[in-house]
Chain A
């Protein structure tokens, strides 16, 4: 156990090793490690962001779905309302049409009745004239009593 020049040589070797490690070993590895840490951190952040986006999108989709469902319900209600309206309208129109047809029919009937009455009256007037003429044949001069005959005829009409 004697101290000698070996100590100096070892110290020199030590300092060279330290220098080498500081200059060539430590920095590149640290750089690589730090770069990787950054990459990992970025990846984690991106993942987090993606998760957030997904959450937002799913939230949004639920909203849209809800809105659409609401809208569909509204449309259905509206359609039902419209349908009943249309039915009501149709009923109304049908009623009007019916009454109009009825009126037309009545008027026609009346007209028929009227014209029948007319024909009847004519025939009655003719029969009456004919009867009167038969009764009055001798006494009545068609020429002298023409105005009388016309007035009777007009009265019957």
Chain B
């Protein structure tokens, strides 16, 4: 916690919700980088994917080690989900994509469960970092980056699988039919769909994790009000953290499933 400012609820929350920023070029605006988001997500990604890689590198077809069995369980779970949704060669792209999304988002979401104030103390006193937000998915930039990447992949596969003509036909002639009178309506409808997909995709994840973070902050604030507050704060914090295990996993799973669904929709013509 900031030692030089007076501790008020506003300053407490502000402190926890301020990014460590760096200017990539010029004096800010778009060219600002949230160093905490970027570095944390990178570390988590390397840890998560790296763990998979380390295990998979030594994977045997014989009796698997417990670690390999765990990885296989995860991978086969995701693979079966993808298989149910995506009909085609899923091994070249879609299933590994789903695995990446699930593992990375799960790792980033899981940071939410770590106790914020202890982490803030560690950042402040061990690394000399005053502002450092631990959960990358409470940063819209992360969720939008993921959702927009998926969106671009969606556009790419639309063009690749259906071709320009096929995609244009789909944009103009579905879902209300190919009557020329319906073309504007179809286009409008598809346009809204294409805009809403990345928005809902990213904001669902962001909203859930951000709200969870805020509730942790509120519970933390209550804990600072006295003995009663501390006791209830502890109980509620523990309860919310346990409930958050579900939310963290569920949101990662939903994000992955939506990714798979969007990509498979791009593969299937109506």
Say whether A10 contacts B142, CB under 8 Å: yes
Say whether A14 contacts B104, CB under 8 Å: yes
Interface size class for chain B? 35 or more
Q: What residue of chain A has the Cβ atom nearest to residue B46's Cβ?
A: A17
Which of B38, B64, B96 has the most C-beta atoms of chain A within 10 angstroms of its own C-beta? B96
Say whether B32 contacts A29, CB under 8 Å: no
Q: Is the interface of B mostly helix, strand, loop or mixed?
A: helix
Given contacts A22-B97, A25-B49, contact A32 B34 (CB under 8 A): no
Pick 17 A–B contacts, CB within 8 A, sort by A.
A4-B32, A6-B37, A6-B38, A6-B139, A6-B142, A9-B145, A20-B100, A22-B97, A26-B91, A26-B95, A29-B72, A31-B59, A32-B56, A32-B64, A33-B76, A36-B62, A36-B64
Stretch at the interface among B23-31, B169-177, B233-241: B23-31
Say whether B140 contacts A29, CB under 8 Å: no
**B198-223 interface code vs A (CB 8 A; 1 in, 0 out):** 00000000000000000000000000
Say whether B97 contacts A18, CB under 8 Å: yes
Does B111 touch A at the CB level, under 8 Å?
A: no
Does A13 touch B at the CB level, under 8 Å?
A: yes
Which B residues are CB-close (under 8 A) to A15?
Answer: 149
Does A62 touch B at the CB level, under 8 Å?
A: no
Say whether B144 contacts A28, CB under 8 Å: no
A5 vs B59: C-alpha distance when bound (angstroms): 38
Instruction: Given A7-B141, A22-B92, A22-B96, output 14 extra A-B contacts at Cβ < 8 Å.
Output: A1-B140, A3-B141, A4-B34, A5-B32, A6-B37, A7-B144, A9-B145, A10-B146, A11-B145, A20-B100, A26-B95, A26-B96, A28-B56, A30-B75
